[in-house]
Amino acid sequence: MSIESLDGLAGRVCDSQPDGSCNLGFFRKAGESHVVSCGTDACLSIRSAAALDQKPVTHFFTKEAVHLTCLAVSPTGEYLATGDISCWIKAYKLPGLEFDRILTRTSLPMRALAFSPSGAMLACGGDDGNVKMVRFQDTKVCTTLVSGSYIRFMAYDPKHELMATCSADGSLRVWEIAAPEKKKMITLIRGAMPRMSGETSGRNPAAWEPHRGSFLAVAGPNNDVTLYERDTWKPCGVLKGAHKERVNAIAISSDGTHLASASCDRTLAVWNLKRHELMDSRRTNAILSDLAWEPDSPKLVGIGEEGTLYEWSEAIPRGLVERGGMIDDLAAAAGLSDDDGDRHQDTYNFDAGASPSNDKRPSTSPPRGSRDVLRECGLGDDSGGEDAGSLGDFIDNDMEPGNSGRGDAERAARGPTMVSPPRHRRAPYVPPAMQPQEAIQPGATPAGQESKRRWLAYHDRGGINSRVDDGGFNAVEVVLHDTSLSRRRPPLFNDFHRFEMAALGDKGPFYASRANSDTPSMLNFRHLESWAANADWTLALPDGEDAVAVAAGRSFCAVATSRDLLRLFSPAGLQMGVLTMEGGIVAMTARGHMLGLVWHSAPPQQQRQMLSAAIWDVTEQTQVSSGRLPLAPNATLTWLGFTDAGALAAYDSEGTMLVRTPDFGGMWVPVFATAQARAERESENEVYWPVSLTGEDLVVVVCSEAAPYPRVQPPPVLSTLPLRVPTVGTSGESNSNVRDPEEELIRVGMRLACLRSRQQQGEEDEADIETTEKLADAARVKLFSEAVRNNRLPRALDLASRMHTAWALEGALKLANHHKVPALADRVSALLQRLAYQLFRAFAQPATFDDSGRFPGAGDLSFTTAESLGFGASQDLPLESRPLLQNSRRTGVIAVKVGMTQEWDQWKVRIPLTILWIDDCQVVQQKTQQREGYTALQLGCGAKREKNVNIAQTGHCRAAGVPLKRKYAEFRVTEDALLPVGTHVGAAHFVPGQYLDITGTTIGKGFQGVMKRWGFSGQPASHGNSLAHRAAGSIGGGQDPGRVWKVHPMPGRMGNRRRTASCVWLYKVDPARNLLYVKGQVPGHKGNFLLVKDAILKKFEKQPPRPFPTFIGEAGDDIITAPTAAQDPYLQT
């Protein structure tokens, strides 16, 4: 650098101090503000604050010509204290900069100086970790605060009671210093600030509220400014959102209403301290190392690390200053925004690409109120001094080629653009338009952390880390969490492509590198295990195409490229597809055959990223689901993954985890909020870095705000955090350790929906769903119990009606009985009964016995009258919802005996079967208690031509509105089983597995002897017997009783009598053809009519649940067979 540059304010002269930091301070002399600055060039400069771009008023090289590290101006403006790299603390007189005295010397360089509010004391702190407090008058070191770490900043409380010291390790200490002998550390907040290494000279700035010191503003660990309340030392405000890197300088305006912060990402922001909100921000070319407000003025001056001064003459809008900062921004702007609304867009476009020519305003629009310029008063403005105009002018001319005396090299070094476009007047603060977010790789940590190692991918299965090696390559290591997954340990390899992205698939890791000028973007897949030697493959993407995200599943690898293409490969390297995406891919994740994708479906609107998400089945080449991914305003996607149920989950920068549920056509449910988890864990600075999701927990690596990413060494440890859907707490128990069952119910319901939708694709097995259903019902039983305890019966019944398993309903029934709520118990048992029948309907198979040999739900119906259910009389209910009670008696049917056949069941056991045909059986007449004195139904069956029916019967049928029937029969029923006249009763009235009583007329055999008729043995064929071979023999006693007993079996007419076969097992039901297949024989000829009823001898609970009062609706075509033996009956055990 040439020597002219030393005429600049504080230019860098020594290239051996690349991280030089510069400092500045204001002082007032003769009513005019001056700025004094120092830097690495060992030079102190004083400029008039009103003309910063002019030559310095005073320019002074220190004698030793060493790097000045810090500077402080005494409150009176009389003295200046400096600290330099050779550890001297010196005082100079202002404004002439005459050397006054040496204040002290330290062992290591000082990094911060601070005058006490009265100016009597000077505090010096630096690399030795001590704060020396020197009395200015006699340079006596009054006291030393041992702070223990590299001190990077100090701030005197305006009341001179406290002092805050900030260390490079991120800790903030506040000392009581009212009396030197009573110094005491009041508080120590570790991690209050970002941690940095002791070698760098970056700052951890702090500033007190200037009037009373009611709070302390420090650079927070999360790229923010944190405000700590005095005395409690609790954060009372966080100013965040403007910076992307740590805050390097803070200044509070002298009226205490505004705070300016400058960050390492080269942004400068002004905040309103009353409302804790961002007012405006600017971008600078250099990192600002110090900031200062001109006293009682809206002017902000900053100094860059390379020595450039930046001036922002109206950092606080003028109106706000005049009116004491009380006016709302918007109100102030409302009256002004009449003419240049179209300019706002340009106004906030601070992109590096904005060229100076764009900044030229049209000449028709004269500059008005134009002091609001962020100006850069760079090196060597001396030659351009005459045309540098008044402060009211824009200094665009500063950038015009040839206008200044600067050389080309200097201009090149300074960067291509001017920082600020012109602005007419202050408009309401509009946040800069949101950019579409960059692609992310889930589970990757960013490069350039303190260590050279980073995670390329970290999943629940394993991780891939990469270490930057000096030899021009990276060392990449694959770590499997479960070492038994791979027989051999994946070898460490040297990566000459410098892979930037990786994903660990089931078959092996998949890597991608970015293109640079020499090499294209490379893809690489390595098998964990392979039967062949050369299974791994490497591919180069075409020129101009760059990989942005990768994913690897069981059967595929996917790479998204900068041309919005999605390329799919098989693990063997076969190209399976090249697809064009709607927008740039943001993230991809894989699980099994599933690929989850998130892409930009539109440019961001209203501060929201417009993202779409989809799940594809790559082997089937189908889309499983797709839809919008709604992120909160200003949030970006930071992680994407699958839950263990196969739902897509997304984590955003606001700390919310969203999981997609197939319900409502695919919606996203918030299942986790970082803020809540922090509150529950009582740790405010934790950052959760998600790794995977189970049904109940989020598996994370817990990091701190200072280091928000897991490190490679020591290996990260996973923790589980409970998922919590933000339900409204109803139970009244605010105990956060106990999970709200209602919340659990929603979560399990989500999981169930997800499993069910996957089951439809044939992915999930039944057992998983059953377990989940049980979980849901367990939660319902919990809630049920709570509701019953609190006597909230409708809520309890609502819960019971949603239970899916008989097991849960039985539990509910027990609870209801236990709490002695019979009304509820009866309703629950009715539900139970209905459920058992629903199960039969839903799965078209009869209910099976449980372990105790009973049908589920059939055993607990202890009540016997319909009224006891509390429904009122059962006959008042609609037919569909009447419960089958223990003493209910359903109607029977009239059937025609068709004949016999046989079938073999699954164990090849022959079952002889009789087929019964229910031929158009209909209710013809109801007999009621009121009219007939008993309740019964008359049913008719078959059909008869009218000419064959007598008038009386015709009239009977006509009155009932049913067709003429061939055969009529009456069945006694209970009142609740009465059916309306005309109801068809078909084969579906009966349930396979149930037992029937079948009544009919047996086949007539004519006059038969006792051997056939009664089964007598007959008499011997020989031994003198004659003519009495089939005779009965004795039929009675002798004189006593002197007669034959009345019931004595004798020869006579056999058969042709009404007989009932009881408890005949119903094997099969064919509802379409109205056929019943019963096991064994039934009375009568083929073609005879039979009366078929529920078996009266079978116990209620031994019968499966049956439709009551009859089957209503369409029965369908399914032939339903009773379950047979669970085990092979022929199996020899």
Partner 1 sequence: MAATQALFSSYELEFFAEDETISIVPNFTLPGCSDNTLECIGGAYGPFLPNRPVDVPLWMAMALHQRKKCRILPPAWMDIESLKMVEELERDRSDAFQPLPFHYLEIAHMLFTHAKDTFGGNFYKVHDLVESVRKVRMTKIHSGLKSLAGPMTVKLNNLSAMECNLMRGLFQGALDRFWKLAQLQAAPDAGEFETQATSSPPSGPRRQFRT
Binding site for partner 1 (CB under 8 A): 460, 480-484, 699, 713-715, 717-720
What is the nearest approach in angstroms of partner 1 to the Cβ of residue 461? 8
In this structure, the chain runs to a length of 1133
What is the nearest approach in angstroms of partner 1 to the Cβ of residue 174? 20
What is the nearest approach in angstroms of partner 1 to the Cβ of residue 584? 33
CA separation (Å) from 601 to 352, 598, 608, 614?
26, 9, 12, 12
Using the minimum distance from each CB to partner 1, give the nearer residue, 462 or 892.
462
Distance CA 783, CA 796 (A): 8
User: Parallel, antiparallel, or unpaired for β 58-61 and 225-229?
Assistant: unpaired
Distant-in-sequence, close-in-space partners of 328: CB < 8 Å, separation ≥ 6: none
What is the nearest approach in angstroms of partner 1 to the Cβ of residue 460? 8
What is the nearest approach in angstroms of partner 1 to the Cβ of residue 1077? 44
Closest CA to 1009 of 1019, 1022, 1021, 1000: 1019
What is the nearest approach in angstroms of partner 1 to the Cβ of residue 176? 20
Using the minimum distance from each CB to partner 1, give the nearer residue, 482 or 1114.
482
Distant-in-sequence, close-in-space partners of 246: CB < 8 Å, separation ≥ 6: 194, 196, 202, 219, 221, 223, 263, 264
Place of tokens 């996203």: 668
Distance CA 124, CA 89 (A): 8
Using the minimum distance from each CB to partner 1, give the nearer residue, 254 or 694.
694
DSSP 516: -
Using the minimum distance from each CB to partner 1, give the nearer residue, 481 or 1102.
481
Residue 677 exposed, middle or buried by CB count within 10 Å (0-12, 13-18, 19+):
buried
What is the nearest approach in angstroms of partner 1 to the Cβ of residue 462? 8
Closest CA to 758 of 620, 612, 641, 637: 620
Using the minimum distance from each CB to partner 1, give the nearer residue, 702 or 1119.
702
Distance CA 961, CA 950 (A): 16
Using the minimum distance from each CB to partner 1, give the nearer residue, 717 or 738.
717
Closest CA to 508 of 572, 596, 577: 572
Distant-in-sequence, close-in-space partners of 354: CB < 8 Å, separation ≥ 6: 417, 421
What is the nearest approach in angstroms of partner 1 to the Cβ of residue 484? 6
Distance CA 1095, CA 1106 (A): 12
Distance CA 916, CA 1066 (A): 10
Per-residue tokens: 743? 């919340």
Using the minimum distance from each CB to partner 1, give the nearer residue, 458 or 525.
458
Order of strands across the sheet with 225-229? 206-208, 215-219, 225-229, 235-239
Using the minimum distance from each CB to partner 1, give the nearer residue, 532 or 717.
717
Distance CA 809, CA 801 (A): 9
Residue 565 exposed, middle or buried by CB count within 10 Å (0-12, 13-18, 19+):
middle
Distance of CA 998 to the CA centre of its chain: 61
Closest CA to 689 of 700, 680, 705: 700
Per-residue tokens: 740? 């709200």
Task: Identify the helix (H) or strand (E) that includes residue 834.
Answer: helix 822-843
Using the minimum distance from each CB to partner 1, give the nearer residue, 540 or 699.
699
What is the nearest approach in angstroms of partner 1 to the Cβ of residue 521? 31
Place of tokens 């550890």: 87
What is the nearest approach in angstroms of partner 1 to the Cβ of residue 770? 17
The string of DSSP letters for 287-334 reads -EEEEEEPTTSS-EEEEETTS-EEEETTSS-HHHHHTTT-S-HHHHHH
Using the minimum distance from each CB to partner 1, give the nearer residue, 146 or 1050.
146
Using the minimum distance from each CB to partner 1, give the nearer residue, 472 or 714.
714
What is the nearest approach in angstroms of partner 1 to the Cβ of residue 715? 7
What is the nearest approach in angstroms of partner 1 to the Cβ of residue 718? 5
Using the minimum distance from each CB to partner 1, give the nearer residue, 430 or 492.
492
Using the minimum distance from each CB to partner 1, give the nearer residue, 411 or 481.
481
Using the minimum distance from each CB to partner 1, give the nearer residue, 150 or 1067.
150
CA separation (Å) from 330 to 278, 320, 327, 1083?
13, 11, 8, 96
Task: Identify the helix (H) or strand (E) that includes residue 29.
Answer: strand 23-29
Closest CA to 445 of 711, 719, 714: 711
Distance CA 540, CA 876 (A): 77
Using the minimum distance from each CB to partner 1, give the nearer residue, 483 or 881.
483
Using the minimum distance from each CB to partner 1, give the nearer residue, 575 or 720.
720
